[in-house]
C-alpha cells in the first residue's frame, strides 16, 4: 500500500519533518517503510482495504516528555498532523491508526514507566505506554495491597483506556476509568508541558489525590479528543479486600427484570453490593438459539408473550450475579440483606451459586474465576472471537457497539427490541435476542451491546456491508436515545453529529476551544468529530 501523505503536504516537506523527528528520537524510532507502517493499521478496521481506510504517513516513538515536546514543535513547524497512541491496542475503537489519514502516529509505547504506586493513599501514577499487565506486575512484584481495575484486554493502557472512556470490572468507583483518574501531565498542541489539578503547584503532594486544583478544570478536554498529549496520569486504586463473596439472584418472570434492576441499583448506589452486578438470562445463550429464533419468527415478542414463554420453559427468566468485597462478616451481612430485600419484593426469587473466598485468589482459583472481577489483567476476551471448536474460519476482528442506556428494565427492553428492529430493517441475519442482559461496566448506566460487527482483512465487500450495519446501529440507537459510549474513527463524525442539541452547539463550542489552543490544527484532527478550523469542511 503506497504511503499516504497528509493532504496538502508535499513529499519534500514530509521528508524534512521526518528527518527532524529522527534527530529527536533517533533514526531507529521513526518508521516510514510500508512494512513498518502496516503495523500501524487498525487490525480490526471495518474499512480494511477500502480507499478511505485510516493510514499513517509515518510513526515516531519518543521515550521522554521532552522528545514529545520536540516532535509537537516539528509538527507545528511543518503543519503536519500527528496522532498520539498509548499502547495502540484500542482495538474495535480504532487500534493504532490515526483518525485523519496521512497523520504521523506518535507512538508512546516506549514511555511505559510506572512512576509511583502508593498503597496507603491508594493511587498510581503511570506513563501512557504502561499496560495493565505492566502496572499489575509492578504492584505484585512489590507486594502492594492495592488492586487495579482493568478492562477485558490486559495489554491496553490505563491512560489510553481512561481517555477513551474505558471501563472495568471491580468496585463502582473504580470501574469508570475516567472517573477514577486524578491528575495529568499533558504536552499541549503548541509543545508546552502542563500539569493539571494539584500538579500545577510545585510542592504539592496531592496531584494524585485531589483532582481539581483551582480554577477551571481542563482534564475533561483530553478525553476522547485532541487537545493535548497526555504523558502522565494518576489513578485512584482500590485497597485489596479481605474477601470476596458472590451469589446469584434468579427471578421467575421476564417482567420481574424491572424490579430486579431497581433493587440492584439500590444495592450498588448504597455501596452494599460493592462489586459488579452481572445480569443474564437463563433463556438466552447458544443452547437456546434456535428456540429464541422461533420466538421472534414473525415479530418481536410482547412482554406478556415473554412472560408466558419463561413460564412455559420453567426457567427463571433473569438472573443477576451479585458481588461483594470486604471483610467476611461484612459481606456475609450485606449478601443476607440483599436476599431479604429481593425475596420480599419479588415473589419466587431463588438464590444460587453462592461462593465466598479470602483474597487474594490462590493460583488454582485464578484458573476458574473471572479474573477481571479481581483486578487481574488477562486476555480471555479474545477467546470469544478466536477459533472455537466448530468454527473453522474465525473473523479477523470486530467492531463493538455499546449503547448508553438508563438503568431501568423498561429501557433495556426497548434497547433489546431496537437491535431486532435494526437487523430486520437491514435484512441481516437476526442475532438479536430478548434475553441479552445489560452490561454494568459503568455504575450509573447500563451499556447495551448490539452483536459485534465483524471485519475480515481479506474481504472488502464483507467489510463494506458491516460498515452499513454499524452506521445503522449508531444512527438508530442514537435516534432512540441510546448512543454508543465510544466508537471507531470511521463513525466518530456520525456519532458526534447525533449530539445535536441546539444545532450542535456543544460541538461548535468544542471546536472554538480547539482553535484557541491548537492554532495549526496539528493534533489528532477529527478525533471524535472535533476538526480544527482548516479542516472543518472535511467533516463527513
Judging by DSSP bridges, how do beta strands 181-187 and 82-85 pair with one another?
A: unpaired
- Minimal distance, residue 404 CB to another protein, in Å: 5
Stretch that binds another protein, among 5-13, 216-224, 277-285, 420-428 (CB under 8 A): 216-224
- How is 13-38 classified by DSSP, letter by letter? HHHHHHHHHHHHH-GGGEE-SHHHHH
Q: Which of 148/295 has CB closer to another protein?
A: 148
- Could you say whether residue 330 binds another protein (CB under 8 A)? yes
Count of residues that interact with another protein, criterion CB under 8 A: 156
Contact code string over 12-51 relative to another protein, x by CB under 8 A = -----------------x-x---xx-xxxx-xx-------
Q: Which of 91/126 has CB closer to another protein?
A: 91
Q: Which residues pair with 167 in a beta bridge?
A: 176
Residue 246 parent element (H or E):
strand 243-251
Please select the residue that binds another protein; options are 337, 359, 431, 475, rule is CB under 8 A. 337
Contact code string over 416-455 relative to another protein, x by CB under 8 A = --------------------------x-xx----------
- Could you say whether residue 332 binds another protein (CB under 8 A)? yes
Please select the residue that binds another protein; options are 300, 402, 485, 531, rule is CB under 8 A. 485
Contact status, residue 179 vs residue 173, Cβ threshold 8 Å? yes
Q: How many residues does the chain have?
A: 540
Please work out, in degrees rounded to the nearest 5, the angle formed at the alpha carbon of residue 111 by the alpha carbons of 107 and 114.
Answer: 145
Give the integer Cα–Cα distance in Å for 187 and 484. Answer: 29
Report CA 527 to chain centroid distance, whole Å.
15
Stretch that binds another protein, among 14-22, 71-79, 308-316, 473-481 (CB under 8 A): 473-481
Please select the residue that binds another protein; options are 15, 27, 271, 289, rule is CB under 8 A. 271
Please select the residue that binds another protein; options are 72, 162, 404, 439, rule is CB under 8 A. 404
Site for another protein in 277-306 (CB under 8 A): none
Direct distance between the N- and C-terminal alpha carbons of the chain, in angstroms, rounded to an integer: 24
Please select the residue that binds another protein; options are 212, 313, 347, 350, rule is CB under 8 A. 212
Q: Which of 85/292 has CB closer to another protein?
A: 85
Contact status, residue 399 vs residue 92, Cβ threshold 8 Å? yes
- Could you say whether residue 361 binds another protein (CB under 8 A)? no
Give the integer Cα–Cα distance in Å for 303 and 357. Answer: 38
- Could you say whether residue 205 binds another protein (CB under 8 A)? yes
Q: Which of 310/439 has CB closer to another protein?
A: 439
- Minimal distance, residue 110 CB to another protein, in Å: 6
- Could you say whether residue 312 binds another protein (CB under 8 A)? no
- Minimal distance, residue 20 CB to another protein, in Å: 19
Cβ count within 10 A of residue 504:
16
Compute φ and ψ for 402, nearest 5 degrees: -130, 120
Give the integer Cα–Cα distance in Å for 540 and 538. Answer: 6
CA distances from 391 to 37, 293, 387, 496 (A): 31, 20, 6, 37
- Could you say whether residue 472 binds another protein (CB under 8 A)? no
- Of 98, 119, 157, the closest CA to residue 492 belongs to 98
Give the distance between the most distant pair of CA atoms in the chain.
Answer: 75
Dihedral angle sign, alpha carbons of residues 308, 311, 315, 321: positive
- Could you say whether residue 476 binds another protein (CB under 8 A)? no
Site for another protein in 133-192 (CB under 8 A): 133, 154-155, 165, 171-173, 178-179, 182, 188, 192
Please select the residue that binds another protein; options are 496, 522, 523, 524, rule is CB under 8 A. 496
Give the integer Cα–Cα distance in Å for 74 and 474. Answer: 37
- Could you say whether residue 201 binds another protein (CB under 8 A)? yes
- Minimal distance, residue 423 CB to another protein, in Å: 20
| Residues 6 or more apart whose Cβ sits within 8 Å of residue 402 | 439, 447, 448, 449, 450, 484, 485, 486
- Minimal distance, residue 308 CB to another protein, in Å: 26
- Minimal distance, residue 406 CB to another protein, in Å: 5
Q: Which of 198/292 has CB closer to another protein?
A: 198
Report the half-sphere exposure of 539 (CA within 13 A, side-chain side).
Answer: 19
Stretch that binds another protein, among 16-24, 259-267, 301-309, 421-429 (CB under 8 A): 259-267
Residue 250 parent element (H or E):
strand 243-251
Contact status, residue 38 vs residue 58, Cβ threshold 8 Å? no
Contact code string over 46-85 relative to another protein, x by CB under 8 A = -------------x-x------------------------
Please select the residue that binds another protein; options are 360, 449, 460, 481, rule is CB under 8 A. 481
- Could you say whether residue 321 binds another protein (CB under 8 A)? no
Rounded to 10°, the helix 409-426/460-479 angle is 140
Amino acid at each position: 500500500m503506497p504511503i499516504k501523505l497528509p493532504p496538502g503536504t508535499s513529499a519534500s516537506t514530509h521528508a524534512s519533518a521526518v528527518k527532524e523527528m529522527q534527530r529527536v528520537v533517533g533514526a531507529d524510532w521513526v518508521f516510514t517503510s510500508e512494512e513498518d507502517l502496516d503495523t500501524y493499521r487498525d487490525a480490526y478496521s471495518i474499512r480494511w482495504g477500502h480507499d478511505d481506510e485510516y493510514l499513517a504517513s509515518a510513526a515516531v516513538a519518543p521515550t521522554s516528555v521532552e522528545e514529545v515536546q520536540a516532535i509537537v514543535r516539528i509538527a507545528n513547524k511543518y503543519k503536519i498532523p500527528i496522532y498520539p497512541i498509548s499502547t495502540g491496542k484500542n482495538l474495535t475503537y480504532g487500534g493504532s491508526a490515526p483518525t485523519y489519514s496521512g497523520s504521523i502516529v506518535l507512538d508512546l509505547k516506549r514511555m511505559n514507566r510506572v512512576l509511583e504506586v502508593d498503597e496507603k493513599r491508594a493511587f498510581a501514577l503511570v506513563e501512557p505506554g504502561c499496560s495493565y499487565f505492566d502496572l499489575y506486575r509492578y504492584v505484585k512484584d512489590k507486594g502492594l495491597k492495592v488492586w487495579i481495575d482493568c478492562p477485558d484486554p490486559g495489554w491496553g493502557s490505563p491512560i489510553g483506556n481512561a481517555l477513551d472512556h474505558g471501563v472495568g470490572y471491580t468496585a463502582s468507583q473504580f470501574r469508570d476509568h475516567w472517573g477514577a483518574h486524578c491528575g495529568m501531565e499533558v504536552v499541549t498542541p503548541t509543545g508546552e508541558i502542563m500539569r493539571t489539578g494539584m500538579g500545577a503547584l510545585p510542592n504539592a503532594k496531592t496531584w494524585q489525590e485531589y483532582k481539581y486544583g483551582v480554577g477551571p478544570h481542563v482534564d475533561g478536554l483530553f478525553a476522547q479528543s485532541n487537545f493535548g498529549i497526555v504523558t502522565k496520569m494518576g489513578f485512584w486504586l482500590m485497597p485489596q479486600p479481605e474477601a470476596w463473596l458472590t451469589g446469584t439472584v434468579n427471578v421467575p418472570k421476564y417482567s420481574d427484570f424491572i424490579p430486579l434492576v431497581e433493587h440492584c441499583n439500590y444495592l450498588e448506589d448504597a455501596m452494599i453490593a460493592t462489586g459488579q452486578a452481572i445480569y443474564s438470562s437463563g433463556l438466552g445463550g447458544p443452547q437456546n438459539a434456535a428456540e429464541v429464533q422461533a420466538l421472534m419468527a414473525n415479530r418481536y415478542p410482547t412482554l406478556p408473550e415473554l412472560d408466558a414463554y419463561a413460564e412455559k420453559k420453567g426457567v427463571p427468566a433473569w438472573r443477576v450475579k451479585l458481588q461483594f468485597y470486604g471483610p467476611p462478616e461484612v459481606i456475609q451481612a450485606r449478601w443476607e440483606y440483599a436476599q431479604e430485600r429481593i425475596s420480599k419484593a419479588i415473589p419466587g426469587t431463588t438464590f444460587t451459586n453462592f461462593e465466598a473466598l479470602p483474597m487474594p485468589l490462590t493460583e488454582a482459583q485464578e484458573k476458574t474465576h473471572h479474573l477481571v472481577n479481581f483486578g487481574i489483567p488477562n486476555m480471555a476476551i479474545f477467546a470469544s472471537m478466536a477459533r472455537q471448536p466448530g468454527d473453522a474460519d474465525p473473523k479477523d476482528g470486530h467492531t463493538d457497539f455499546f449503547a448508553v442506556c438508563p438503568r431501568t428494565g423498561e429501557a433495556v427492553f426497548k434497547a433489546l427490541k431496537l437491535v431486532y428492529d435494526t437487523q430486520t430493517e437491514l435484512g441481516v441475519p437476526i442475532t438479536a435476542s430478548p434475553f441479552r442482559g445489560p452490561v454494568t461496566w459503568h455504575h450509573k448506566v447500563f451499556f447495551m451491546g448490539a452483536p459485534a460487527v465483524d471485519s475480515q482483512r481479506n474481504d472488502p465487500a464483507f467489510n463494506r456491508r458491516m460498515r452499513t450495519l454499524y452506521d445503522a446501529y449508531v444512527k438508530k440507537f442514537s435516534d432512540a436515545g441510546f448512543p454508543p459510549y465510544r466508537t471507531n474513527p470511521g463513525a466518530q463524525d456520525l456519532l458526534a453529529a447525533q449530539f445535536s442539541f441546539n444545532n450542535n452547539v456543544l460541538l461548535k463550542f468544542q471546536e472554538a476551544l480547539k482553535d484557541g489552543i491548537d492554532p495549526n490544527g496539528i493534533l489528532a484532527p477529527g478525533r471524535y468529530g472535533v476538526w480544527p478550523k482548516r479542516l472543518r469542511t472535511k467533516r463527513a
